[in-house]
Structures are given as C-alpha cells and as structure tokens.
C-alpha cells in the first residue's frame, strides 16, 4: 500500500435500450415512446399475432351462421366439415394467443427494466442538494409502484386497443350478413365513447392523489424501518402507528373515491353494448318473422355482440389504467426533469499523478442558493503535498462542509477549490473522487459481507490487500472473531456491529483505495481511546506522503496533524501548531476544553 493507484470500476450492467424524451412540452405517452420503440420488433410481433388471433376468432360466428343455414336448414353441406373448421380455427387461435402473450409479457418486463434503470441512473447523477430536500420514500414509490403503473399501460393498452379492433372486424362481418341490422347493433357505441371520456376526466385527479398518498405511506414506512432504534428508544411506536394510520386513511379515501367513480361509469361502459343485443333481438326477430333474415344470421349477430362485450369491458379498465399511468408518469418525470447542480464541464479533464496540493481561495458557500447567511465566507486554506492538517471548530462552524467542497459534493458560490492547480470544477468528478478518500463520522455499511464492504471501492482486491487495510484500520482482530470472519454478513447499515467497529471498517475501505488525498471527518469519534491510539499509530504510517485533512474534536486526533486550523464565524481565525494555538488563541483552548468535558461526561 505504498503506491497511489486510484481505480475506477467500470459498470457492467446492461444499459437501458432508450431513455425518456426530455421535451417537457410533449404528452407523457409521447415522452415515453422512445422506450417503447426500443422494443418495437418484439412488441409489434405480439400485437400482430394478437390481431391474427382475433381475426381467427371472428370467423367462428360466421361459420356458425353457415352451419345452421347450409347443414341444419338446407342440408346442402355436411355438418362435420364445419366442425373440423371450427376445431382448426380454435387450435390456431390457441397457438397465436400463447405466442402473442409470451412476447407481450417479455416486452412488459423489458420496458419495466428500462424505466427502473433510467430512474436509477438519473438518481446516481443527481447532486447532494437534491437528496437534501427529497424524501427517500418518495423516490422508492416512484421507482416501484409508479413504474409498474406506467409499464402496465404502455404494454397492455395497445393490446386492449387491438382487441377493441374486434368491433371493426365484427362490424364488417355483420355488414356482409345484413347491413341494416349491423347499424342497429352499433347504435349504442357513441354512448359508450362519451361515457368513457367522462370517466377519464373524472378519474385523473383521483389517480394522482392516490399515487401521491401511496408515496407518503412509503416514506413513513421507510423512515420507521431505518429509524427503528430511535422509535423504540423513545417508545414512540404508538405515535408512529397513528401517523401510518392517518396516511393509510388518506390513501383509503382515494381508493374509495376511485371505486365510486368506477362503480358509476364502468357498468355503463360495459353494459351499453348489451343494449345493442336487445335491439338485435327485437329487429332481427321481426325480420326473421317476416322472412327477411335466416335464423343462423341472428345467431351469428348475437355471437358477435357477445364477443364485443369483452373489449368494451376492458375499455373501462383501459381508461382507469390510463389515468393512473398518466399520474404516475408525471410523478416520474418530476424526478427525471430535475437536473444535477454539480456536473462535469464539457472540457473537463482527468486528475492524474495527483501530488495532493490543495488550496481553498476566497470561498463563499451556503447550502441553499438563496440563503443570506453563509456557512463559509472568504475561506482560505492551503494544504501542501503530504501535509496533515487538523480542522477544529465549534459544532456547526462548517468543518465538514470544507471536506464536502473538496470532493465537490457541492459547488462553491464564489472563489475556488483547487487540487494541484486545477479548479475542481474543471476536473471529471470520477477522477477527482478516485484521488480523495473520505471517512465520515457516521459510516454507512451495506448489507453484505465484511470483505465486500472493505472492498467496495475496489471489488477485485486480493484477500491480502483487504487484510492489510483491516490491520491498518485496527479492524483485523475483531473481524477475525466474527462468526464467519471476513465472510460475516453485517445487518442493514451495519447495525450488527458497534459504532467503533463500523468506523474501523469504513477506514479500511478508504485505505484500501490508497488515495493520495485523505479526509477523516471525525472518523474515530465512536472508537474508545485505547483502540484509537492503536489506529493512530497505524494511520501515522498511512499518512506519510499523503495529504490529509482531519476534521477533529479530540486532542488525540489533533495530535496526528502537522498543523491545526481553527475555524470560527465562517472563516479561519487561527493557524499553527497545537502548542502555538494554545498559547495565542483562547478560543482554541476553550473548544478543546468543551470537547474534553463532553468526552468524560457520564
């Protein structure tokens, strides 16, 4: 672990076949068309086969008409020939339906895969300011239930429309049998159309409310699961249950309103075609009585009208799916239309052969763009290559902010942050962060093995390198005592380990990358003094030749530094060795005394 060799791991997952059209003036379905077009061959084949299956199905009532007329009434054709034709058409329809459905579901899952990856890739590009204001439950809801609503409509709506084309085919066959009766049979269709339009207008706002309130429930559940230790510590289970019950009640209201609208309109849309059946029986029966129509013809008409009922029943479902999908798509586009605030410049370069010369020049920064009070104001700091600097200050003085600006998690409002003379805004973000290792005071561990957590930034690391990093971080001994050693799977967020153990694994994870610049943001705050001294002895060796910024509270941590910088009132008010600041800056001694008092407090 002597040579600095940052490594970027290339993603190997299959990229989405297409993406959402960024033109916000388009309708939601037109914005999603590129994703559908990416699968148009398979999807188109499915729709064509579905249509052919309908053509086959529509032939059967016509065969029934001919069988009754030619075989049962006139005895001019053997009945068996019509039977065999019907069996053949039934088998053909079965095969066509099977292949069409198989291809349809394949397309549906491919589209869902694309949509989910489009959202996830977009989220990985978003800046930290985005996550500062967006609830994780809202993101989870959009990436799951909203995507499913859009996918269902995008794949099944065309299928339902193809099946509704059965009405056109059936109408053509009815025209060949008897023109006046065919128009009588279709008299109710305009009323079906207007009922469907009214249903769509009524259901859209309710669908939006339902999806938004489902996201609220997801947020509450997510926060309760992640914050279960806080909930239980304050015995707040009943309070949280009431919050969830209130949110669930609001969702229930939306679903009841949705059900009420469907109860009003769906029976109308579905049963109006049956009025056509009554009209056919009335007028067709009159024509049969007067010898203008054969019995087989009216039987065929009835069969066609019965076949039309299924598409019109699905038409009500299509309208419902469409409104829910439209609401879900708008919620998804709210995320996709967000643009990251921290982006690579068009001419951004990679940071190579990093020496670790770090300079903050006249930096002004606030987390909110319109904030009047700055976190850092005219902040200036220089870290020479290989130098270790401790940053000390009161809580909320902006110490961690300095580390976040160095890694360009946020951009400065004024001034610049430079590494080796390059403004970080002129560097590719991936190459910048390859050269900076960060250990946070609240380390996040993934629900995988200890080995995988340490090797997170370098999955191809050898067992020897992983163990060396663990030794350097003082984690080797406790890892060896775990049930499966390095193969032990830690619980969610690593909560099966103590705070100090999590911090040591986080330190090992960073040291494994061997970055030329190291940022320790109160990285040993949860580690007891004896273990901390052992880690510091190891870190002393690790920091040789490496530029290190230490956000510190403990005197023992400050002792690692060559130089101490005191931060107060948004800027540096003291800079020197520990002894120099004790002698010249009363505020420094005061802050150390407060930190020591907190350490020894029961």
- pLDDT the model gives residue 493: 64
| Mean pLDDT to the nearest integer, 213-220 | 75
- pLDDT the model gives residue 394: 85
| Mean pLDDT to the nearest integer, 163-181 | 79
| Span 442-514 CATH architecture | 3-Layer(aba) Sandwich (3.40)
Residue 578 has pLDDT above 70, yes or no: yes
- pLDDT the model gives residue 529: 62
- pLDDT the model gives residue 312: 65
Residue 7 has pLDDT above 70, yes or no: no
Task: Note the pLDDT tens digit of each residue in 125-154.
Answer: 888 888 888 877 778 777 778 888 898 888
Residue 500 has pLDDT above 90, yes or no: no
How big is the chain, counted in residues?
Answer: 602
CB count within 10 Å of CB 577 equals 12
Residue 515 has pLDDT above 80, yes or no: yes
- pLDDT the model gives residue 148: 86
- pLDDT the model gives residue 424: 94
- pLDDT band at residue 560 under the 50/70/90 scheme: confident
How many Å is the Cα radius of gyration of the chain? 35
- pLDDT the model gives residue 234: 59
Residue 163 has pLDDT above 60, yes or no: yes
- pLDDT the model gives residue 530: 63
523 neighbors 442 (Cβ within 8 angstroms): no
CA distance 304 to 373: 74
- As a CATH number, domain 353-435+517-602 is 3.40.50.300
| Mean pLDDT to the nearest integer, 226-250 | 71
Q: What are the backbone angles phi and psi of residue 568, rounded to the nearest 5°?
A: -160, 145
Where do the domains of the chain lie? 28-336, 353-435+517-602, 442-514
* Residue 178 exposure: Cα atoms within 13 Å on the Cβ side: 21
Helix (H/G/I), strand (E/B), else coil: 314:
helix
C-alpha 153 chain-centroid distance:
19
> For all residues of the chain together, what is the average pLDDT?
81
Residue 601 has pLDDT above 50, yes or no: no
Sign of CA dihedral 154, 156, 157, 158: positive
Which of the pair, 240 or 93, is modelled with greater confidence?
93
C-alpha 271 chain-centroid distance:
40
Orientation angle between helical segments 295-336 and 166-177, nearest 10 degrees: 160
Residue closest to 21 by CA, chosen among 342, 343, 329, 340: 329
Identify which of 412-421, 451-460, 528-537, 559-568 has the greatest average pLDDT. Answer: 412-421
Pairing, β 547-551 against β 388-393: parallel
- pLDDT band at residue 268 under the 50/70/90 scheme: confident
- pLDDT the model gives residue 187: 78
- pLDDT the model gives residue 350: 92
Task: Name the least confident of 163-177, 317-331, 532-546, 565-579.
Answer: 532-546
Task: Note the pTM of the prediction, 2 decimals.
Answer: 0.70
Which of the pair, 492 or 72, is modelled with greater confidence?
72
| Mean pLDDT to the nearest integer, 114-130 | 87
Residue closest to 390 by CA, chosen among 556, 543, 553, 550: 550
389 neighbors 561 (Cβ within 8 angstroms): yes
| Mean pLDDT to the nearest integer, 491-520 | 82
DSSP 415-470: EEEEETTEEGGGB-HHHHHHTEEEE-SS----SSBHHHHHTTT-TT--HHHHHHHH
- State the DSSP code for 234: T
CA distance 284 to 439: 83
* E runs forming strands in 181-238: none
Residue 461 has pLDDT above 60, yes or no: yes
What are the distances in angstroms from CA 133 to CA 124, 139, 497? Answer: 16, 12, 30
Which of the pair, 233 or 372, is modelled with greater confidence?
372
Residue 255 has pLDDT above 90, yes or no: no
- pLDDT band at residue 326 under the 50/70/90 scheme: confident
- State the DSSP code for 395: T
CA distance 411 to 417: 9
- pLDDT band at residue 296 under the 50/70/90 scheme: confident
- State the DSSP code for 489: B
DSSP 507-520: HHHHHHH--SEEEE
Q: What are the backbone angles phi and psi of residue 381, rounded to the nearest 5°?
A: -155, 140
| Mean pLDDT to the nearest integer, 333-350 | 90
Going across the sheet that includes 547-551, the strands are 436-439, 517-521, 547-551, 388-393, 563-568, 571-576
CA distance 126 to 212: 22
- Same CATH topology for 353-435+517-602 and 442-514: the answer is yes
The residues facing 439 across adjacent strands are 520
Residue closest to 195 by CA, chosen among 339, 41, 312: 312
- pLDDT band at residue 262 under the 50/70/90 scheme: confident
Residue 250 has pLDDT above 90, yes or no: no
- pLDDT the model gives residue 364: 93
Residue 320 has pLDDT above 50, yes or no: yes
- pLDDT the model gives residue 381: 93
419-439: burial string, b at 16+ Cβ within 10 Å, e else = bbebbbbebebebbbbbbbbb
Helix (H) or strand (E) holding 362: strand 358-365
| Mean pLDDT to the nearest integer, 106-133 | 87
Q: For the domain 28-336, what is the CATH superfamily, name and number?
A: ABC transporter type 1, transmembrane domain (1.20.1560.10)
Residue 600 has pLDDT above 70, yes or no: no
Identify which of 53-67, 71-85, 576-590 has the greatest average pLDDT. Answer: 576-590
3-state secondary structure 570-595: CEEEEEECHHHHHHHCHHHHHHHHHH
Helix (H/G/I), strand (E/B), else coil: 385:
coil
């Amino acid at each position: 672990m002597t040579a600095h060799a940052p490594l970027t791991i290339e993603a190997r997952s299959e990229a989405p076949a297409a993406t959402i059209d960024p033109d916000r003036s388009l309708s939601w379905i037109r914005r999603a068309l590129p994703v559908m077009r990416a699968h148009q061959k398979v999807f188109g084949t499915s729709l064509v086969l579905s249509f052919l299956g309908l053509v086959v199905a529509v032939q059967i009532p016509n065969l029934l008409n001919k069988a009754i007329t030619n075989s049962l009434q006139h005895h001019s054709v053997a009945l068996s020939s019509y039977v065999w034709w019907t069996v053949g058409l039934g088998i053909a329809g079965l095969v066509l339906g099977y292949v069409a459905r198989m291809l349809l579901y394949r397309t549906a899952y491919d589209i869902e895969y694309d949509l989910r990856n489009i959202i996830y890739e977009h989220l990985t590009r978003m800046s930290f300011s985005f996550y500062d204001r967006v609830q994780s439950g809202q993101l989870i809801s959009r990436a799951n239930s909203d995507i499913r609503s859009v996918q269902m409509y995008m794949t099944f709506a065309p299928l339902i429309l193809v099946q509704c084309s059965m009405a056109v085919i059936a109408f053509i066959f009815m025209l060949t049998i008897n023109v006046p009766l065919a128009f009588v049979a279709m008299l109710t269709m305009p009323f079906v159309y207007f009922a469907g339009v009214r249903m769509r207008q009524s259901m859209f706002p309710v669908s939006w409310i339902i999806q938004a309130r489902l996201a609220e429930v997801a947020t509450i559940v997510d926060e309760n699961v992640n914050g279960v230790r806080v909930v239980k510590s304050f015995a707040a289970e009943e309070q949280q249950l009431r919050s969830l019950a209130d949110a669930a009640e609001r969702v229930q209201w939306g679903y009841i309103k949705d059900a009420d609208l469907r109860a009003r309109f769906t029976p109308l849309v579905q049963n109006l075609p049956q009025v056509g059946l009554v009209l056919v029986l009335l007028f067709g029966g009159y024509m049969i009585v007067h010898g203008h129509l054969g019995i087989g013809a009216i039987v065929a008409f009835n069969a066609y009208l019965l076949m039309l009922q299924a598409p019109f029943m699905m038409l009500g479902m299509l309208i419902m799916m469409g409104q829910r999908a439209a609401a879900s798509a708008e919620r998804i586009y709210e995320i996709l239309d967000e643009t990251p605030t921290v982006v690579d410049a068009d001419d951004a370069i990679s940071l190579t052969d990093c020496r670790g010369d770090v300079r903050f020049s006249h930096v002004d920064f606030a987390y909110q763009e319109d904030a009047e009070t700055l976190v850092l104001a005219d902040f200036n700091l220089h870290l020479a290559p290989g130098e270790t600097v401790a940053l000390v200050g009161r809580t909320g003085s902006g110490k961690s902010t300095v580390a976040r600006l160095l890694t360009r998690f946020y951009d400065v409002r004024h001034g610049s942050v430079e590494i080796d003379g390059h403004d970080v805004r002129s560097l590719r973000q991936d190459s910048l962060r390859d050269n900076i290792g960060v250990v946070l005071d609240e380390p996040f561990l993934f629900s995988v093995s200890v080995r995988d957590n340490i090797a997170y930034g370098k999955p191809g690391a050898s067992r020897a390198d992983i163990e060396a990093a663990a030794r350097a971080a003082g984690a080797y001994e406790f890892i060896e005592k775990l049930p499966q050693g390095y193969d032990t799977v830690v619980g969610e967020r690593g909560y099966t380990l103590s705070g100090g153990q999590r911090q040591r694994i986080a330190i090992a994870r960073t040291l494994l990358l061997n970055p030329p610049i190291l940022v320790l943001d109160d990285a040993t705050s949860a580690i007891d003094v004896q273990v901390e001294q052992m880690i510091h002895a190891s870190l002393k060796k690790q920091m040789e030749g490496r530029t290190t910024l230490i956000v510190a509270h403990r005197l023992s941590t400050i002792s690692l530094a060559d130089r101490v910088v005191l931060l107060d009132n948004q800027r540096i008010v003291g800079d020197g060795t520990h002894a120099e600041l004790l002698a010249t800056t009363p505020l420094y001694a005061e802050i150390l005394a407060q930190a020591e008092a907190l350490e020894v407090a029961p």
